[in-house]
Structure 1
Amino acid sequence: MASEYSDIKFEIQGKIGIIKFNRPNALNSFGGNIIPDTIAAFRVLNDHPDTVFTVLTGEGRFFSAGADVKATAEANQKPVTYKNAAEKKLAFLQKFAYATELLRSMIDHKKVFVLGLNGPAVGGGACWFPGIADIILASNTAWLQCPFSALGLVPENGSAISFAQQIGIHRTNDFLMFGRKLSAQECEDWGLYNRVFQSAGDEFQKEVMRFLEGQLDVNDGKSMIEMKRLQNAPIRDARLVAVVNAVDALAERFVEDAPTKRFAEKREELEGKRKGKISKI
């Protein structure tokens, strides 16, 4: 029987549900069905009678490179004409609806949400998940970077708030405004990562499972789930409002064509460098 998931791997091992991004050749970027598949798996685990931990991780060397640049470029080859700015904004709000539902699924998830950062995360891969996860276990290869400002975008899906809650406002501004690349060591030192393992690939995945199974050996699952509920209840609505505000701001940037202009400038800059190298040969 074929799996109902095409772009994730999904399994349950005892009291641990595992969702694994599975587009390694595309660095687990958000193309194909990766987001719908992930939302579906979160729904299954949310209502599962036995699981305590929900682990989100990735196959291959990257956790996620964020937006699928290739798919976006192909879509932009077919320009769309809008009657006015309102119609244009509504079109982009519809495009971003999948991301809103993904964030809501994670914010409202009943089980202990563990982010297993198996490798680097960029853009949406870096900003959508760490601020929402309850526990972050990371490989020492798992650096983060969000180059939103360089591309005329904004911090996506409430990340401006969720990161500020985790690492403070000034560090968040440095990370999101300036597109600073954070090493795994910095993330651990700042309290964003709970633990950093000196491993990658299959060995990292095994370490994550051993750690969580060890916690289940000594801690009551229902108590851990209740801890999560009590902690998150007062901030749940604020997190969702932050997501809505971020989606609105992102749509406005696209109405202004800011990302399109920035991408065009970047392409011209890269093309100029490429021609300069050729002329010196």
Structure 2
Amino acid sequence: MSIRIRIDQGILTLQFDRLDKKNAITAAMYQALADALRSAETDPDVRAILLQGQPDIFTAGNDLEDFMQRPPGAGEGAEQAPVFQFLYQISHATKPIVAAVSGAAVGVGTTMLLHCDLVYASDTAKLSLPFVQLGLCPEAASSLLLPRLVGYQRAAEKLLLGEAFSAQEAHEIGLVTRVLPVAELHDFALAQARKLAALPASSLRETKRLMKSGALAEVEKQMADEGAVFRRMLVAPEAKEAFSAFFEKRKPDFSRFA
């Protein structure tokens, strides 16, 4: 399994552990994440959740080869695709989620952070949202949440150009809670998760619910809208050109597409 899952002292740790593929996420990994988050909701031994990668890499996002072999389903039942199960579970989690981000956080590696409660990043972290570059559209309700968090123009720069940005910039725009030296990141994030696990569970749940409940219906609608567009664009010529160029290690040519 490429997701390490463990529960210790009230903390469920979910760790990307596929270094040979830069922690790229497969359908099986999404399913493992979704199942773990779902189980955590009713597990009294879980009081906080820690999401982390490795010191050199958080995640390169979707494993594109696996993604093309097992694309999210279309039509009825599409929401049951592992990636959409994961996005539903992380966006509806009632227990606090702490993220520790080091190295690259690409695509969903950045958008999932919008659903975490505390996000700590190393000074080596690089975040990016290259959906347009792949002929696709944003997911995880990021087209709603990112403009609200950082302002429209800053969100447009990140989502339209898809260029990588530093942990320090992510902190300045409010996407990251704190930036730390890479050697300190995981111990600090774990310590913060332990603080949460020691607090009254009901107070944490209700405080999180009150902060997020007003936007939850909008998040659900935006995810549904994004998902429908994403599945349509995934089989469109632009995405096929982007993915072909990626595998052929060349620059894509979108000039022939209107």
TM range (shorter): 0.7 to 0.9
Aligned to 1:278: none
Separation in 1, partners of 2:181, 2:212: 30
CA separation of 1:50 and 1:175: change in aligned 2, threshold 3 A: same
Residue 44 of structure 1: which of 13, 17, 39 is its match? 39
1:103 aligns with 2:87: yes
Structure 2 match to 1:276: none
CA drift at 1:189: 1.1
The aligned counterpart of 2:238 is 258
* Residues 123-202 of structure 1 aligned to structure 2 (within 5 Å): 123-127=107-111, 129-200=112-183
Larger mean CA deviation between 172-181 and 254-263 belongs to 254-263
Give the Cα–Cα distance (whole angstroms) in 2 for the partners of residues 32 and 252 of structure 1.
19
Q: Is the 8 A contact 1:61 1:119 kept in 2?
A: yes
Q: State whether residues 131 and 162 of structure 1, in contact with CA within 8 Å, keep that contact through their aligned partners in structure 2.
A: yes
Change (3 A) 1:52 1:259: same
Is there any run of 5+ residues in structure 1 with no aligned partner, and where?
A: 1-5, 77-88, 273-281
CA contact (8 A) 1:132 1:162 kept: no
Conserved in 1, the CA contact under 8 Å of 2:114 and 2:145? yes
1:119-163 residue CA offsets vs partner (Å, 9 max, x unmatched): 320122222x11111111111222101122122111123211121
- Measured in 1, the distance between the counterparts of 2:157 and 2:64 equals 25
Identity %: 24
Question: Structure 1 residues 95 and 66 mapped into 2: Cα distance closer, same or farther (>3 Å)?
Answer: farther
Cα displacement (A) at 1:269: 7.7
* 1:107-122 equivalent positions in 2, closer than 5 A: 107-122=91-106
Contact 1:150–1:262 (CA under 8 A) maintained in structure 2: yes
Choose the corresponding residue for 1:209, options 176, 190, 197. Answer: 190
1:66 aligns with 2:61: yes
Q: What SS is found at the alignment partner of 2:113?
A: coil
Do 2:79 and 2:85's aligned partners in 1 also have CA atoms closer than 8 Å? no
Per the TM alignment, residue 49 of structure 1 is displaced from its structure 2 partner at its CA by: 1.2
1:155 counterpart letter in structure 2: P
Superimposed CA distance per residue, residues 162-190 of structure 1 (whole angstroms, 9 cap, x where no aligned partner)? 21222121111100101121100001111
What SS does structure 1 have at the residue aligned with 2:242?
Answer: helix
- Tell me how large the CA RMSD over aligned residues is: 2.7
C-alpha displacement of 1:195: 1.2
TM-score by length of 1: 0.80
State the secondary structure of the residue aligned to 1:147: coil
Greater gyration radius: 1
Point out where structure 2 has 5 or more consecutive residues left out of the alignment: 253-258
Alignment: residue pair count: 251
Query: Structure 2 length as normaliser, TM-score?
Result: 0.86
Q: How big is the shift at 1:14?
A: 1.4
Q: Would the aligned equivalents of 1:93 and 1:248 in 2 still touch at CA under 8 Å?
A: no
Aligned residues of 2:47 and 2:196 also touching (Cα < 8 A): no
Q: Given the superposition, is the C-alpha separation of residues 252 and 271 from structure 1 closer, same or farther in structure 2, using an over 3 Å criterion? A: closer
| Contact 1:156-1:246 at 8 Å conserved across structures | yes
On the 8 A contact 1:52/1:111 being kept in 2, the answer is yes
